[in-house]
Amino acid sequence: MKNIQLMFVAALCGTVLSTFAEIVIKPVRTPSVSTNRPGIIVPGPDGGGITHEQPPQVIELLDGDVLKGTFVGFDSEGGAKWRHSAVKTDIEFMTDSLSKISLFPRPYSGASSDNTRVELVTGEELSGELLEMNNRHLVLKAWYSRNTLRIPREKILAIRPASAEAGVIYEGPSGMEGWKGQSVKVARNPRIPPPVIIQGRNRLGGINFGAGKEVPMPGGAAQGWQYSNESFVATRSNSLIGREMKLTDKVNVEFDLNWRGNFNLGISVFADKFDAYSGNSYMVGFSPNDCYLMRMANNVQNNLGRASFQDLRGKTKARISVRINKEEGTIALVLNNRVVKEWEDNAGFAGKGGNVSFVLLQNTYAKVSNIRVSQWDGKLPSGEGPQKEGKDLLVMRSAGSLSGELLGILDGKVRFKAAFSPEPLEMTLDTVARINLADTKFEKPKLGLGDVRVTFANGGQFTFLLENWGADRVTGLSTVLGRVEFQPDAF
């Protein structure tokens, strides 16, 4: 029987009578066990005991209201169904009231052959096993789709063939968990995880609805690094954010960087202190036109050399990679798949820890995203080289790149017509690092009425008109693929 108390308190102050009433249903308490229904607790791979409890899923409305619980389903007419442990029946939200839904799928653990990445002209990405490509379509076998995907060639910007990639140490960010910094702030309610991109290994999944609001970027008054939309953003000098990782002897630290105007960024690696200027570590610093390597040993700094380059002039974004070979004492800076400088420490490797940090070294806007730290095979890329107008560009994993025409891909083999060869060249797909297709340009993606932008559990985002989200399938229409049927656990 619920404890219901009705209390009236009267106090006489002069000639005025003040009263208030309070109804206490039950004192607020922290439950000793989870009250969420199945879907939040994830059983182990063998179907036995619980291995971990996932954070609650979150639905966010256009007016900013949020609610934890479990996503049940969606259809274009009825809206979204939501389950909460404190409500007897499922809640139905109207479609035009929704902004975002944050999901928590199981980590993806598919085969390496499923990891071919197809970059679309919209900036979105699909992954899977590349079965065939001709002059009209690319055929992709995707674990998350009930049917093979036929992607029109003119909608493809680039292809990154699958490889037997080394072990992944970290991918993110998907939140602030594990990160620490100086004056770090979170741009969202820290108790509510935002929908993230997903490159499935222990990341979150999410749905962005077409009517959703964009989260504003942090302004110039922000202190330290902020987390917002799968990115870390900073505007003030000496902002530092980092985390400890299990770094291997050969490691690749890579990320996307966006900036405005000039910038100066430092990446601290193998640090034994959470401080870029003390202890034992290395810091690679770079700006749009030069770079340097700082060696820190027993709190003593030593500059191991600078180098100038033109790669980033006139640009506002780039893919950055710092590759460290602890055994050989070498550190290389790679910009957009081109090595701009490799240093060698002849005095012995100084780093004694596992901290990786990002340090903004001047007042400017900088955004770090798509961070990936992985084991490295010790090989440096040869660079893509310029892509000629009207020509496809094929970048090899070992050395060099070829300009010409991609004739097709079938049975794991690539046929390519290079300018220097009278006969088409044939090579296995695993020897190719990237293929940039000719005459394709980036198109800014748009969310129309009824469209959703989903994030796959093994990486990449995709936009389509959502019709129905049920227990066994997700259906909709895509301007790229036509009718689509996805597996619900793909997100």
Out of 87-91, 244-248, 389-393, least confident range: 389-393
Cα distances from 24 to residues 28, 149, 170, in angstroms, run 10, 57, 47
Q: Where are the beta strands (DSSP E) in 211-364?
A: 226-228, 231-234, 239-244, 250-260, 265-271, 281-286, 290-297, 300-308, 317-325, 330-335, 338-344, 355-360
* Average pLDDT over every residue of 203-217: 48
Out of 11-25, 318-332, 374-388, least confident range: 11-25
- Band of residue 107 on the pLDDT scale cut at 50, 70, 90: low
Residue 400 has pLDDT above 90, yes or no: no
| 132-142 pLDDT, tens digit each | 999 999 999 98
For residue 28, the model assigns a pLDDT of 44
Residue 184 has pLDDT above 80, yes or no: no
Is the backbone peptide bond immediately before 31 cis, with ω within 30 degrees of 0? no
- Band of residue 366 on the pLDDT scale cut at 50, 70, 90: very high
Which tokens belong to 464?
């389509």
This prediction's pTM = 0.57
- What is the rounded distance in angstroms from the CA atom of residue 23 to the CA atom of residue 8? 10
Cα distances from 458 to residues 111, 199, 203, 231, in angstroms, run 11, 4, 9, 18
Options 3.40.50.1970, 1.10.1240.10, 2.60.120.560, 3.20.20.210; CATH of 168-173+224-375: 2.60.120.560
- What is the rounded distance in angstroms from the CA atom of residue 128 to the CA atom of residue 294? 40
Percent of the chain with pLDDT over 70: 73
Looking at per-residue confidence, does 421 or 255 come out higher? 255
Looking at per-residue confidence, does 140 or 11 come out higher? 140
* DSSP assignment letter at 400: -
- What is the rounded distance in angstroms from the CA atom of residue 239 to the CA atom of residue 218? 14
Q: Which residues contact residue 277 at a Cβ distance below 8 angstroms, ignoring those fewer than 6 apart?
A: 296, 301
Indicate the average pLDDT of the chain.
Answer: 76
Q: Cβ-count burial of 489 within 10 angstroms (0-12 exposed, 13-18 middle, 19+ buried)? A: middle
- What is the rounded distance in angstroms from the CA atom of residue 351 to the CA atom of residue 286? 19
* Average pLDDT over every residue of 194-216: 41
Per domain, the residue ranges of the chain are 112-165+382-436, 168-173+224-375
Percent of the chain with pLDDT over 90: 27
- Band of residue 146 on the pLDDT scale cut at 50, 70, 90: confident
Looking at per-residue confidence, does 489 or 156 come out higher? 156
First to last CA, the chain: 42
Residue pair 50/59 in contact by the 8 Å Cβ criterion: no
- What is the rounded distance in angstroms from the CA atom of residue 274 to the CA atom of residue 354? 10
Looking at per-residue confidence, does 107 or 274 come out higher? 274
Task: Identify the three-state secondary structure at position 491.
Answer: coil
| 54-86 pLDDT, tens digit each | 456 888 888 888 888 888 888 888 888 898 888
